[in-house]
Chains A and B, each alone.
Chain A
Amino acid sequence: MKALKILFYLVCILLIVSACSMPPDSSEKYDVIYTLEKVSYEETDAERSREITIAVVPKVANIPYFNAAEEGALEAAKDLGINVIFTGPAFADAEQQIIIIEELIEDGVDAIAVSVNDPEKLAPILLEAKGKGIKVITWDADTLPHARDFFINMVDPETLGRHLMDILAWNTGEKGEFAIMTGALTASNLNEWLHWIKIQQKEYYPEMTLVEVAANDDNPQLAYASALNLLEKYPDLKGIIGNSSVGPPAAAKAVKELEREGEVAVVGLSTPNPMNEYLKDGSAQIVTLWSPKKLGYLTVVLANNSLKGIDPYDWQEIRKVGNIRMVDDMVIMGEPMDFTAENVDQYDF
Chain B
Amino acid sequence: MISKAWRFKNYRLRTKLIVTYFLLTFIPMSLLGYIAYNQYTASIEEQVGEYIPKLLDQANENIANQIREISSLPEVLYNSDQIVEILRNDALQNRSSLMQDEFTVNTYLSRNFINGESPDILGVFVLSKDRIFQSTKIPYSNFGLDQSLSYGQNIELNGEEVFLLPHQTSLRFEGDPPFVLIMKQLNDLENRTDLGTVMIAVESTFFKKVIDELNDEGNADLWMMDKNGRIIYHTDPSMIRETDRESADYPKIDGSFRTVQEDESRLISLNYLQETDWILAHSILASNLTERTDLVRNVTIIVFLIFVLISTAISILLAWNVSRPLNQLTNVMKKVEQGDFDVDLPAGSTDEVGILANNFNSMVLEIKDLIRKNYQIELKQKEAELYALQSQINPHFMYNTLETIAMSVEDDEKDTVIEMVTLLGRMLRFSIGNKEDVVTISDELSHVKDYLTIQKIRFEEKLDFAIETELDTEQYGTPKFILQPLIENAIKHGLVYGNKTHIHISVKRERRNDGTEEIIFGVRDDGSGIQPEKLADINLMLEAGSMSKRDDHFGLMNVQARILINFGSTYGLTLSSSLNQGTDVQIRIPALLKDRGGAHNELKKN
The proximity string for A residues 293-325 relative to B, scoring 1 for CB distances below 8 Å and 0 otherwise, is 110010000000000000000000101111000
Point out the residue from B53, B258, B267 that lies within 8 Å of A36, measured CB to CB. Answer: B53
A205 within 8 A of B: no
- Are B250 and A30 closer than 8 Å at their CB atoms? yes
The proximity string for A residues 329-349 relative to B, scoring 1 for CB distances below 8 Å and 0 otherwise, is 000000001000001001111
A30-B249, A33-B49 known; A13-B258 Cβ under 8 A: no
Chain A: interface secondary structure? mixed
- Are A32 and B187 closer than 8 Å at their CB atoms? no
Nearest B residue to A30 via CB reads: B257
A18-B34, A30-B260, A33-B49 known; A293-B253 Cβ under 8 A: no
The proximity string for B residues 40-81 relative to A, scoring 1 for CB distances below 8 Å and 0 otherwise, is 001001100110011001000000000000001001001000
A10-B27, A319-B159, A321-B189 known; A33-B267 Cβ under 8 A: yes
Point out the residue from B34, B253, B272 that lies within 8 Å of A32, measured CB to CB. Answer: B253
- Are B158 and A79 closer than 8 Å at their CB atoms? yes
- Are A28 and B189 closer than 8 Å at their CB atoms? no
A10-B26, A23-B260 known; A38-B254 Cβ under 8 A: yes
User: B27: which A residues are within 8 A, CB to CB?
Assistant: 10, 13
C-alpha spacing A322/B189, complex, angstroms: 8
C-alpha spacing A38/B273, complex, angstroms: 12
- Are A29 and B261 closer than 8 Å at their CB atoms? yes
- Are B191 and A347 closer than 8 Å at their CB atoms? yes
User: B35: which A residues are within 8 A, CB to CB?
Assistant: 17
C-alpha spacing A320/B267, complex, angstroms: 42
B256 within 8 A of A: yes
User: A346: which B residues are within 8 A, CB to CB?
Assistant: 84-85, 88, 191
Nearest B residue to A78 via CB reads: B158
Nearest A residue to B52 via CB reads: A34
User: B268: which A residues are within 8 A, CB to CB?
Assistant: 30
- Are B271 and A36 closer than 8 Å at their CB atoms? yes
B581 within 8 A of A: no
Which residues of chain B from 9 to 34 have a CB within 8 Å of any chain A CB? Answer: 15, 19, 22-23, 26-27, 30-31, 34
The proximity string for A residues 40-71 relative to B, scoring 1 for CB distances below 8 Å and 0 otherwise, is 01000000000000000000000000000001
Interface residues of B toward A: which range? 35 or more
User: B249: which A residues are within 8 A, CB to CB?
Assistant: 29-30
- Are B191 and A36 closer than 8 Å at their CB atoms? no
- Are B189 and A348 closer than 8 Å at their CB atoms? no
The distance from the CB of A291 to the nearest CB of chain B, in whole angstroms, is 4
How many residues of chain A are within 8 Å of chain B by beta carbon?
40
- Candidate in A21, A36, A75, A321 with the most chain B CB atoms within 10 angstroms: A36
- Are A36 and B46 closer than 8 Å at their CB atoms? no
B193 within 8 A of A: yes
User: A28: which B residues are within 8 A, CB to CB?
Assistant: 260
C-alpha spacing A145/B15, complex, angstroms: 94
User: A21: which B residues are within 8 A, CB to CB?
Assistant: 38, 42
User: B75: which A residues are within 8 A, CB to CB?
Assistant: 322
A14 within 8 A of B: yes
C-alpha spacing A72/B259, complex, angstroms: 51
C-alpha spacing A138/B458, complex, angstroms: 170
User: A319: which B residues are within 8 A, CB to CB?
Assistant: 159
Point out the residue from B78, B158, B260 that lies within 8 Å of A31, measured CB to CB. Answer: B260
C-alpha spacing A36/B255, complex, angstroms: 5
Nearest B residue to A26 via CB reads: B260
- Are A348 and B159 closer than 8 Å at their CB atoms? no
C-alpha spacing A348/B45, complex, angstroms: 62
The proximity string for B residues 96-138 relative to A, scoring 1 for CB distances below 8 Å and 0 otherwise, is 0000000000000000000000000000000000000000000
A21-B42, A72-B192 known; A36-B260 Cβ under 8 A: no
A30-B251, A32-B253 known; A79-B159 Cβ under 8 A: yes
The proximity string for B residues 170-185 relative to A, scoring 1 for CB distances below 8 Å and 0 otherwise, is 0000000000000000
- Are A41 and B274 closer than 8 Å at their CB atoms? yes
Which residues of chain B from 233 to 285 have a CB within 8 Å of any chain A CB? Answer: 249-251, 253-261, 267-268, 271-272, 274
A233 within 8 A of B: no
- Candidate in A34, A317, A322, A349 with the most chain B CB atoms within 10 angstroms: A34
9 contacts between A and B (CB under 8 A): A29-B259, A29-B260, A29-B261, A32-B256, A34-B49, A36-B254, A293-B190, A293-B191, A337-B190
Other A-B contacts than A291-B192, A317-B72, 9 sampled, CB-CB below 8 A, are: A6-B19, A6-B22, A32-B256, A33-B45, A34-B50, A291-B190, A322-B189, A337-B190, A346-B84
